[in-house]
Amino acid sequence: MSEESGVSDWNPVEGLTIAIDGPSGSGKGTVAKMLADELALPVLDTGLLYRLTGSVALQRDVSLDCESDVAALVDDLLTDIDWTVDGVFFAGENVTSQLRNEQVGAAASQVAAMLSVREKLLGLQHLLAEKGCIMDGRDIGTVVLPNAPAKFFLTASVRERARRRWAQLKDDSDSSLEGVLAELKMRDQRDAERQHAPLKQANDAIGIDSTTLRVDEVIDRMLGVLERRKLIARSVS
């Protein structure tokens, strides 16, 4: 984004979709937002849909072990969800900030393992991706947008990811770095080993290990790929 004008330096091709997948704490949310700013594209964080499902299941005492009950809950939620670039609105309220805690993250990981829940949330993701966007999650390159012309898979060492997550959480909770690390390892295992749409790099995705990279270095690599593929071009001023 050009600092003086607030106008993007880049023109994306019409309807460009970019998939960014990776494990918790890999930085994909931050990177997706920055790239979206650079390209003036909407960004959609798909983890929020699973987080909302997990959160409402906890509030309504829906058993996280019962797939049919959680699936019925999703049917109910879908009538009241508004999922926008500003986050998730439920019953008219932006609930995004309430969804970013470890308890909801753990519940989200459980409901995300359920095939019927994933299938029910797929239509909404397709609908919003239609006009072009950057979407981040776990299965965007493999399942949600398999034909996206640009796919990135962001990783970082588990210790570095735990350190980032802990730095985000520590003002609002008394969790220890070791506790966050243990939780992250458990979540990684559940997301990668689940039967349906497990976390895995799409064959045609470009892997970026961000353990020792700054966010702007990651963004530069992505812009380079997009430019070489002629998916973006510099604006002529």
Where does this chain bind ligand DC (CB under 6 A)? Answer: 24, 46-47, 50-51, 105, 108-109, 112, 137-140, 187, 191
Instruction: Scan for tokens 């962001």, then name that residue.
Output: 154
Nearer to ligand DC, 11 or 201 (CB): 201
CB of 191 to ligand DC, least distance (A): 5
Using DSSP, state whether 85 is helix, strand or coil. Answer: coil
Nearer to ligand DC, 148 or 232 (CB): 148
C-alpha closest to that of 131 among 9, 12, 10: 12
Nearer to ligand DC, 140 or 218 (CB): 140
Beta bridge partners of 20: 136, 152
Using DSSP, state whether 20 is helix, strand or coil. Answer: strand
Q: Is 30 exposed, middle or buried (0-12, 13-18, 19+ CB in 10 A)?
A: middle
CB of 137 to ligand DC, least distance (A): 2
Nearer to ligand DC, 184 or 232 (CB): 184
Instruction: Scan for tokens 């064959």, then name that residue.
Output: 203
CB of 198 to ligand DC, least distance (A): 9
Residues 207-222, buried b or exposed e (16+ Cβ, 10 A)? ebebeebeeeebbebb
CB of 149 to ligand DC, least distance (A): 19
CB of 169 to ligand DC, least distance (A): 12
Quick count: other Cβ atoms within 10 Å of Cβ 71?
Answer: 19
Nearer to ligand DC, 14 or 65 (CB): 65
